[in-house]
Structure 1
Amino acid sequence: MALPTLLVDRSGAIVRVEPEARELLKVLPGRYRLHRAGGAVLLISDENAVTAAQPGETLALAGDIAAMPLLGLMNLLGQSRETGRVVVKSGDVERVTLLKTGDVASVGSNLPRDRMGEFLVRLGKIEEHQLAAAMDLAQQSGQRIGQCLVQLKLLQPHELWSCIQEQMTEIFAELCAWTSGSFVMYRVPAEHPFPQTPALSMQHLLLEAVRRADEMSVFRERIPNVNARLRRTARDAGEVSEEDSPAFGYFELMGQSGATVAEVATSLQVAEFTATRLCYQLLRSGLIEIVKETRPPGPPFKLAPADRERIDIFNLAFREIRDEMLRAGHGDVLVDGVRKYLADPNGAFADLFRYVDVDDSGALLVDPLVNNLAVLHGMGLDPATVLTDALNELTFFMLFQCGELLSPKADENLGRRVRLIHASLPSAVR
């Protein structure tokens, strides 16, 4: 079957849009950017999906992380010795990796906690007032924060280089663990300004990312996050290993008040991953324990009728998708994929989908979903927005699976039926 087409005349005006193309465009209304990809190829992307190309850059690759995991993508780019800028976006978080002949020249992020200054504060290398002084100097001189810290004699050059390496390793490892989002890669011109510091080996960073992901999955079974509070137990210490000794000494000092993993990282001037590993080792040996913090109960959460209707309508669409896949003999494949998606601790909506499962019809179990929604509401998030964003993302994931397994005609008809179901969603948020 021919793909839907647009007809563009020599002046650049769109003179005809086929009905099939209009139906396709109606699914994702919004504002889009056009990217020149070389030859006769143009990429249309949501303006919020990826960062636009800079002057002189050429689009080389674009795709969905669900279809092309970042570990595989980065390995491919490293082996191909590519030079360019890889922009990855998931939700509101955007990270940029600058490649130089297959190695990693720099890694950036739009999260404040990932900026060099904030990273150094978290690492315990500098304090907030010292960062403020360096930022003032950076604004006046146009230098980078790291250079200003060295100039102010707050860091030695070798300390700064070690911190840059650790920052790049941490951000890159977290990036490779993403399971949803979009990516683009732009080839950059020869005169692109690369950092003066040596590029880090792509293979080394990939191996470290895999190692950290494997270890962190074990750590998270006992320590849920860096804000978990731990304290010394009454157990006799005996001999503590040389590696664990600094962390153990810190817990001894803190007594029954304990400390969070993040506080341990700052105190010992180590990365949060390292602090998590040290705490896990002490936890396993019985020398520290998790502090169960109790919060005063807030007002009871009551699911709004419109939000309950929203869940029911999405569940109706999920049943429709599951039924179509069942008819095609792929029902179990769909349910298995959805369960893995819901259970992913690194997913963009992991907090909402924690302990949520699907029933035999393909619908989400409502009670655990509402329980998680109550927690998020208590944190100041809007239930309608959270539900709509998360369930739309899940719908997209399910339809993507269908597109891989169903015939084009069946996939097209299913998409039309799902859009009709979604048309009945409460009008406040869609």
Structure 2
Amino acid sequence: MSLSGNLKTVSFPDILQLLATGKKTGVLEAKTATRQKEVAFKGGNIIYASSINSSEDLLGNMLLRRGKISKGDLERAITLHKQTGRQLGTTLIDMGLFDKQEIGECLKLQIEEIVYNLFSWGEGDFVFHEDAKPKNAPFTIEMNTMNVVMEGTRRIDEWLEIQKVIPPDDALLDVVLSPKINREEITISLDEFRILALINGDRTVPDLINMSPMGEFVTCRSVYKLINQKLVESIGKRDAEEPEVEDEEEVLLAIVFQLYNQCFFRIRSTVEALVGEGNNCLPAFSSQYRGGVLNFFPGLDPSSELAPSFDKFLHAVKALPSAIRHHHLMGALENMLTEQLEYVFRLLGTGAYRRAMGNVKKEISQPLATRRELVKRFGLDENLYQTMRRADKVVKMIREQ
């Protein structure tokens, strides 16, 4: 089976579903300029995953962060592992520090972190090596791939809600000593308790992620729930070492430019995957938007040579009267996004619409997280969520007719 391409045009969940339904055996390799991950399959199920050039995925570091091993024991194990050439997991068992079941449980968590991280990749080359075996795997496990797809998709949707509440990266978090809530109504999970124990008024969300015995998603979800229960609050900003002087409008426009170009490209890719690249139905429909600043959102691959220039976009926007430029730009983009999603439904039905909406949701999480404080202040995130809800309402009305 020959399977290769880029995650811009074929989503990671779609690849997993294809390998699962085909009960494929082999290794899926995905990489960017700075990251490389491999996921191994047997009979369509995930059995192993590894990450190259990413220390947070290493088994030893995960054990250390979870408090399962001391730094001294880990250093001794790594030294012995290098001397003998045996896998670190096997070395830890040989040293009597863990049994096979404990290593297997930690390995499963490591594999889950690697695989779920791939759901957030908006780009990256991939290739599936059929019948290849995972390299240097100390153990293998078996995970139902379709369950992983469902959980990964759920995490994407949940992550959008989490980002609405999580404070900016420079915000210090502290425990609310006298929460205005009935103590009998307070219930927190073990994950939330672990994060609560790390919060001391001097740490930010990135600090907690680095210290947490869980992955980024579980850590941020715990912070989200603790804030919603009014058990944790932001108490101010961490003093910057050197204040940055920047043009906030240009930063915001850069986020908008990236965000909506990726969204329209995702919609176009979804349609072309179903009707073929030679079918110009969507470009023909989108031609009505040509004119003014919307010329810079053609639905092309943002990384291609044909993609519009941000500098030219910035010049065009700043040519508009300053009092109306933001309202004019965002209103036009939101209408364009709603109408394109509605068109996908009218053209290809519910399944294609949901797929396009899912791809858009996947695409927006990273740009919206770039500068959360700025995004929230200008309402960029909330306006986008309202746009998607409006598209859902329109589609629902059409279906009920």
- Pick the TM interval, shorter chain: 0.5 to 0.7
Q: How does 1:250-269 map to 2 (within 5 A)?
A: 251=196, 255-257=200-202, 260=205, 263=208, 266=211, 269=213
Q: How many residues align?
A: 280
Partner of 1:46: none
Partner of 2:148: 205
Distance in 1 between residues matched to 2:289 and 2:143, nearest whole Å? 39
Deviation at 1:121, TM superposition (A): 2.5
The AA in structure 2 aligned to 1:292 is G
Task: Write 1 or 2 for the structure with the bigger share of helix.
Answer: 2
Partner of 1:278: 222
Distance in 2 between residues matched to 1:136 and 1:292, nearest whole Å? 43
Deviation at 1:239, TM superposition (A): 3.0
Partner of 1:149: 92
* CA offset digits 1:367-387 (Å, max 9, x no partner): 8xxxxxxxxxxxxxxxxxxxx
Partner of 2:50: 108
Flag the 1:253–1:203 CA change in 2: closer, same or farther, 3 A.
closer
Distance in 2 between residues matched to 1:119 and 1:261, nearest whole Å? 17
Distance in 1 between residues matched to 2:97 and 2:204, nearest whole Å? 26
Q: Is the 8 A contact 2:104 2:139 kept in 1?
A: no
Deviation at 1:129, TM superposition (A): 2.8
The AA in structure 2 aligned to 1:197 is T
Specify the SS of the correspondent of 2:159: helix
Flag the 1:289–1:295 CA change in 2: closer, same or farther, 3 A.
same
Q: Does 1:98 align with 2:40?
A: yes
The AA in structure 2 aligned to 1:63 is G
Partner of 2:115: 172
Distance in 2 between residues matched to 1:253 and 1:92, nearest whole Å? 30
Deviation at 1:220, TM superposition (A): 1.6
Q: Is the 8 A contact 1:229 1:258 kept in 2?
A: yes
Deviation at 1:194, TM superposition (A): 6.5
Partner of 2:80: 137
Pairing partner for 2:6 from 61, 64, 84:
64
The AA in structure 1 aligned to 2:51 is S
Distance in 2 between residues matched to 1:116 and 1:301, nearest whole Å? 40
Q: Does 1:330 align with 2:272?
A: no
* CA offset digits 1:232-256 (Å, max 9, x no partner): 1242461365543674586478554
Partner of 1:158: 101
Partner of 1:287: 231
Structure of larger gyration radius: 1
Q: Is the 8 A contact 2:175 2:196 kept in 1?
A: yes
Partner of 1:40: none
Q: Is the 8 A contact 1:230 1:291 kept in 2?
A: yes
The AA in structure 2 aligned to 1:198 is I
Deviation at 1:63, TM superposition (A): 0.8
Specify the SS of the correspondent of 1:185: strand
Distance in 2 between residues matched to 1:255 and 1:91, nearest whole Å? 37
Larger relative CO (CA 8 A, sep 6+): 1 or 2? 2
Normalised by the length of structure 1, the TM-score is 0.53
Partner of 2:66: 123
CA RMSD of aligned residues (A): 4.5
Distance in 1 between residues matched to 2:49 and 2:56, nearest whole Å? 14
The AA in structure 1 aligned to 2:230 is G
Flag the 1:248–1:187 CA change in 2: closer, same or farther, 3 A.
closer
The AA in structure 1 aligned to 2:224 is Y
Distance in 1 between residues matched to 2:108 and 2:144, nearest whole Å? 11
Q: Is the 8 A contact 1:232 1:287 kept in 2?
A: yes
Deviation at 1:294, TM superposition (A): 3.4
Q: Is the 8 A contact 1:87 1:95 kept in 2?
A: yes
Q: Is the 8 A contact 1:229 1:261 kept in 2?
A: no
Q: How does 1:254-403 map to 2 (within 5 A)?
A: 255-257=200-202, 260=205, 263=208, 266=211, 269-296=213-240, 298=242, 330-331=286-287, 338=297
Q: Is the 8 A contact 2:180 2:230 kept in 1?
A: no
Distance in 1 between residues matched to 2:106 and 2:296, nearest whole Å? 39
Q: Is the 8 A contact 1:124 1:266 kept in 2?
A: no
Distance in 2 between residues matched to 1:297 and 1:218, nearest whole Å? 31
Deviation at 1:94, TM superposition (A): 1.1
Q: Which runs of 5+ in 2 are unaligned?
A: 248-253, 262-280, 304-308, 319-401
Partner of 2:179: 235
Partner of 1:381: none
Specify the SS of the correspondent of 1:108: strand
